[in-house]
Structure 1
Amino acid sequence: MFKNILVVCVGNICRSPSAEVMLREAVSAKGIQVSSAGLGALVDHRIDATAQQLLQEHGFDGGAHRARQISPALLSGADLVLTMERKHIHRIIAIAPEASGKTFLLGKWQGDREIPDPYRQQRQAFEHVHALMAEGVGSWVRYL
């Protein structure tokens, strides 16, 4: 049973905090803790404005988010680690080899689909990524 899920991307200001907020809401009745971190986090930065706007338009709020750097301790404390890209999995395993058996793509149930980084792109890219993350979150919920 998963009690602590960590969502990971690079900067921890677009994808992972958005997926964190969506997943936290989806599992709120299950007593599961959901957090996020970045492999190259923009530490203490707020969620990207476009990502936050899309969250709000879908009934979520990432306003309290502050980016944080991934660490071996965060990885150790997680029962499940969800990433956006395969290269994130490889970097996590390099940091904490023991995390290999619990680290998967958010898009695992969509044929191991990767979710591209929308950072510094137009709103359309953020909309596409938001939709991919919503699908990924929805597909994981049935297993949690």
Structure 2
Amino acid sequence: MCIGNVCRSPMAEGIFKQLLIGSEVDCRASSAGLHALVGRPPEPFACQLLLKKGIDISSYRACQINSGMIRNADLVLVMELNQKAIVEKRDPSARGKVYRLGEWGKFDVGDPYRKGIAVFEESLKLIETGVSQWLEKL
């Protein structure tokens, strides 16, 4: 596994997988949340916005990140800077491989959960930017 992705993960995972198709980057994207409601499907706005891009995340079900996922990932991307500290505290082996999705643009991706579609659209724009920047670096 090359990329482990944490939080607001269905959208980020979907974008990563779409952009990896046909790229020269040899890695796999998967996702989990820090406080995910296990088994819950993605928010309807997330499904709606990604479906417009040809990405179906409706079958995704939330799961919690665990030490096994962290140890098996070469890179763990979080959405907000404070999440980096949380992941590293949960599993010290994560140090040195946890970064923000917006690391290169120096931005956080706020959590759109239970907010309006405009917030989801803004999060998606930031996710697309972050994913593109990371794929350039990889």
Please, what TM-score do these two structures have when normalized by structure 1?
0.90
Alignment of 1:1-144 (within 5 A): 3-9=1-7, 15-29=8-22, 30-110=25-105, 112-144=106-138
SS of 2:84's partner is: helix
Contact 1:41 1:69 in 2 (8 A): yes
- Distance in 2 separating the partners of 1:26 and 1:69: 24
Separation in 1, partners of 2:114, 2:58: 19
Aligned residue identity for 2:50: L
1:78-115 Cα distance to aligned partner (Å, 9 max, x none): 000000001110100001111110000000111x2101
Q: CA RMSD in A?
A: 1.1
Question: 2: distance between equivalents of 1:71 and 1:63?
Answer: 23
Q: Which amino acid aligns with 1:23?
A: F
Aligned residues: 136
1:120: how far off? 0.8
* Contact 1:42-1:67 at 8 Å conserved across structures: yes
Q: Give the secondary-structure state (helix, strand or coil) at the position aligned to 1:58.
A: coil
Preserved CA contact (<8 Å) 1:7 1:17: no
Equivalent position amino acid for 2:114 in 1: R
Contact 1:17 1:65 in 2 (8 A): yes
CA distance in 2, matches of 1:27, 1:103: 20
Q: TM-score, normalised by structure 2?
A: 0.94
Q: CA deviation at 1:41?
A: 1.3
